[in-house]
Chains A and B, each alone.
Chain A
């Protein structure tokens, strides 16, 4: 069964609005979750690492004030795209990673396709 869920699976919004994407770890508690973005025909790009109970760590070039991450519990992380613009249209995927004892296997959510008009 699914290890990671995401909601919504797709969303269409107007330019200037904010969109919240939820990521839930269903199978185990995750102190760390990862948020990726993928543009068509391109590889995954890590946006930020979400840490439970503390601030997220953002990759270079990713605006932390635009992409707000909240990891309030061991099973839930949210990504809010604030004041979305058409260039933010992308496939957003979250993932959680098991520990060394489980071969560091990384599980991905089903992704959220965001279209900003």
Chain B
């Protein structure tokens, strides 16, 4: 079956750095997405990786290793507004988006 694993919840301190990991097992691979979702709102796009390596976009970076079925989202200089759920999703060989359960990130002052 298809499976995406990410931690359920993480806690970090304002101003610090946090890394949210995601491992996947899917039928085929056409890219991996990271989305941010605040409570009661729809997800918003953060990043898309289809090749191995690190993609940096401001305070957020996303890394992919296809051979390991692994990705991480790195958030730097954490702000209180970064408190949200972070969803990892993989586009499989049929271009279906397979979603992880999300990681709830709690930022403490």
Contact = CB atoms under 8 A, between A and B. Distances in A.
Contacts of B48: 103-105
Interface stretch (A12-20, A38-46, A60-68, A82-90): A38-46
Interface residues of A, number: 19
Interface in A36-54: 42-46
A43 B101 contact: yes
Nearest to A3: B45
B75 to A, nearest CB: 19
Contacts of B91: 104
A93 interface: yes
Contacts of A113: 40
Contacts of B26: none
A108 B44 contact: yes
B42 to A, nearest CB: 4
Contact of A106 (B30, B33, B40, B50): B33
Of B30, B41, B97, most A-chain CB atoms within 10 Å: B97
17 contacts: A43-B87, A43-B100, A46-B99, A91-B40, A103-B50, A104-B30, A104-B31, A104-B91, A104-B95, A105-B45, A108-B42, A108-B43, A108-B44, A109-B42, A110-B42, A111-B41, A113-B40
Given A43-B101, A44-B87, A107 B45 contact: yes
A46 B97 contact: yes
Given A43-B101, A105-B48, 4 more contacts: A42-B101, A91-B40, A104-B91, A106-B97
B96 to A, nearest CB: 8
Closest 4 CB pairs of A and B: A108-B42, A43-B101, A111-B42, A103-B48
A113 B42 CA distance: 11
A43 B42 contact: no
